[in-house]
């Protein structure tokens, strides 16, 4: 008889039975949704943006970070800042544009103005405040902590949190693999943002982003496209996928897939979709990698695909293109997704076009795969209406195998996320 858990825990792990369950209440509960904001999003390093989005002094982007309105900007001295977009006087947004270049931020309510570094610049009728008013203490409030790793900027609303480098831990190695594609070590966010809602709980997208088990059933039409384009996507006998890859625990709730590439890489693994014309160009990029990094590291960069999930809500997919995608819950059953393409700054027009073409074939709201992921997540969310009668999601694949034997089609790496999630929700350090 199959083991079924009892009790009220959200995450149930039973090694003896080789079972791991998550209670579906975590996907529907307004109480869990509220508690996650404080227990997770206010304590973790959450993604803000990439330094390349702010090319010049005064450049800014406004975006929500952990539910707060934030101005992500580069001040006149070139320092990157994340300022809470909220006037010190009566609270209105001081910047209501999506992006731009600002000499100052001007609150349209009563006319207070702030420098791009946050300092309060001027207050109409300042004399009415008497002698106790100190402008130097009334600047825009920065997020409590802001730091970056290789131009990926993160904020933390917990002033006591560990530093970003410690937090990222072994995930840094996988970010390094992404950056190593660029000869100068500089990657950039490519213009054009994909922003869309999914009517499903945000944690489902963490699972989905790294879950290779669903590829054949959810994405058969994409596999057909690859096959029609001359790419061999037929799994060897006894395998679920064309190549055998692994799911890895990177510590601190971070995890990744690590798969031998079969679906092509703009840097630098040719497939027939790119066309014969691209072969020489991709060979040259491969040679540059080998000369710069040595053949072993070059193969690591160019012959593996990695979907990296940084706890709690940032995913970097480095494969047929590079996507940077983060998502934030707006309700128990709805998340808001923001995704960008990332590429080496040196790319030629042809290389960039190839990268974007590959991105769009699979990813995004008009791709051949992402809309089916969205459909799967929304179908799961609809099913969760019966969470009381059918309470447990099963994430037991690969239980009983050693840690370094967990396949990307197993669920060992998904369990890494859930253990961390549970630990933080229970208030353990």
Partner 1 sequence: MNEMLAATVSRAEVEDLFYHEADLLDSWRLDEWLDLLTEDAAYYVPPNDRPDADARYTLFTIADDMVRLRERIIRLKDPNCHAEYPQSRTRRMIGNVRVTGSEGDLICAAANFIVHRFRYNDLDRVFVGHYRYKLKRQGGRLKIAERRAILDAQELGQLGSVSFIL
Binding site for partner 1 (CB under 8 A): 98-99, 190-199, 218, 220-222, 224-225, 228-229, 336, 340-341, 349, 352-353, 356-357, 359-361, 364-366, 368, 370-372, 374-376, 382
The count of other CB atoms within 10 Å of the CB of residue 287 is 12
Nearer to partner 1, 23 or 188 (CB): 188
Q: Cα 22–368–236 angle (5° rounding)?
A: 75
* Structure letter (DSSP) for residue 140: P
Give me the sheet containing 59-65, strands edge to edge: 80-84, 68-74, 59-65, 99-101
Give me the least distance between CB of 345 and partner 1, in Å please: 13
Give me the least distance between CB of 221 and partner 1, in Å please: 4
Give me the least distance between CB of 354 and partner 1, in Å please: 10
Nearer to partner 1, 35 or 214 (CB): 214
Nearer to partner 1, 21 or 340 (CB): 340
What span, in angstroms and rounded, lies between the C-alpha atoms of 120 and 103? 13
Nearer to partner 1, 93 or 425 (CB): 93
What span, in angstroms and rounded, lies between the C-alpha atoms of 301 and 161? 32
Nearer to partner 1, 304 or 361 (CB): 361
| C-alpha separations of 402 from 17, 123, 248, 249, 424 in Å | 15, 64, 11, 12, 25
Strands (E), 220-295: 246-251, 254-260
Q: Which two tokens stand for residue 50?
A: 């990439």
Nearer to partner 1, 25 or 197 (CB): 197
Q: Which two tokens stand for residue 233?
A: 């996507």
Give me the least distance between CB of 365 and partner 1, in Å please: 5
Give me the least distance between CB of 98 and partner 1, in Å please: 7
Q: Between helices 202-210 and 370-383, what is the axis angle to 10°?
A: 130
Q: Which two tokens stand for residue 295?
A: 């053949």
Residue found by looking up tokens 């008009």 in the block: 366
- Written in H, E and C, the secondary structure of 144-211 is CEEEEECCEEEEECCCCCCCHHHHHCCHHHHHHHHHCCCCCCCEEECCCCEEEEECCCHHHHHHHHHC
What span, in angstroms and rounded, lies between the C-alpha atoms of 407 and 168? 23
Nearer to partner 1, 316 or 376 (CB): 376
Residue 83 · residue 71 · CB < 8 Å? yes
Nearer to partner 1, 361 or 393 (CB): 361
Read off φ and ψ for residue 403, nearest 5 degrees.
-60, -40
Which among 223, 242, 222, 226 is positioned nearest to 234, based on CA atoms?
242
What span, in angstroms and rounded, lies between the C-alpha atoms of 314 and 228? 33
What span, in angstroms and rounded, lies between the C-alpha atoms of 280 and 263? 18
Nearer to partner 1, 147 or 378 (CB): 378
- Coil, helix or strand at residue 32: helix
Give me the least distance between CB of 197 and partner 1, in Å please: 5
Nearer to partner 1, 218 or 243 (CB): 218
Give me the least distance between CB of 351 and partner 1, in Å please: 11
- Coil, helix or strand at residue 106: strand
Give me the least distance between CB of 353 and partner 1, in Å please: 5
Tell me the chain's radius of gyration from C-alpha atoms. Answer: 23
Give me the least distance between CB of 224 and partner 1, in Å please: 7
Give me the least distance between CB of 158 and partner 1, in Å please: 29
Give me the least distance between CB of 47 and partner 1, in Å please: 17
Nearer to partner 1, 104 or 229 (CB): 229
């Amino acid at each position: 008889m199959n083991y079924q858990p009892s009790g009220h825990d959200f995450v149930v792990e039973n090694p003896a039975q080789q079972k791991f369950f998550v209670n579906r209440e975590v996907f529907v509960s307004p109480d869990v949704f509220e508690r996650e904001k404080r227990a997770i999003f206010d304590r973790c390093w959450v993604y803000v943006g990439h330094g390349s989005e702010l090319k010049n002094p005064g450049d800014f982007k406004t975006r929500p970070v952990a539910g707060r309105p934030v101005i992500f900007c580069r001040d006149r001295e070139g320092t990157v800042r994340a300022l809470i977009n909220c006037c010190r006087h009566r609270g209105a947004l001081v910047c209501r544009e999506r992006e731009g270049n600002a000499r100052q931020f001007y609150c349209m309510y009563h006319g207070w103005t702030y420098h791009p570094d946050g300092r309060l610049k001027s207050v109409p009728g300042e004399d009415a405040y008497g002698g106790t008013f100190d402008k130097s203490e009334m600047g825009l409030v920065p997020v409590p902590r802001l730091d970056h790793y290789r131009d990926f900027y993160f904020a933390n609303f917990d002033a006591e949190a560990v530093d970003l480098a410690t937090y990222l831990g072994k995930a840094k190695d996988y970010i390094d693999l992404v950056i190593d594609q660029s000869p100068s070590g500089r990657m950039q966010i490519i213009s054009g943002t994909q922003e869309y809602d999914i009517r499903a709980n945000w944690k489902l997208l963490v699972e989905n982003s790294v879950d290779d088990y669903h590829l054949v059933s959810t994405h058969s039409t994409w596999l057909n496209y690859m096959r029609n384009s001359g790419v061999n996507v037929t799994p060897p006998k006894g395998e679920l996928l064309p190549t055998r890859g692994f799911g890895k625990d990177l510590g601190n709730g971070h995890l990744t897939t690590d798969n031998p590439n079969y679906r092509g890489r703009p840097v630098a693994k040719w497939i027939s979709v790119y066309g014969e014309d691209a072969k020489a160009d991709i060979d040259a990029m491969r040679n540059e990698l080998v000369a710069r990094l040595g053949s072993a590291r070059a193969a690591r960069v160019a012959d593996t695909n990695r979907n990296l999930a940084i706890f709690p809500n940032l995913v970097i997919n480095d494969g047929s293109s590079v996507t940077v995608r983060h998502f934030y819950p707006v309700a128990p059953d709805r998340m808001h997704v923001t995704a960008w393409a990332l590429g080496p700054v040196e790319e030629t027009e042809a290389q960039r076009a190839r990268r974007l073409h590959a991105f769009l074939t699979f990813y995004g709201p008009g791709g051949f795969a992402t809309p089916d992921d969205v459909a799967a997540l929304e179908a799961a969310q609809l099913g969760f209406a019966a969470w009381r009668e059918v309470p447990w999601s099963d994430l037991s694949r690969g239980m009983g195998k050693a840690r370094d034997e967990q396949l990307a089609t197993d669920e060992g790496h998904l369990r890494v996320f859930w253990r961390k999630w549970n630990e933080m929700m229970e208030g353990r350090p």
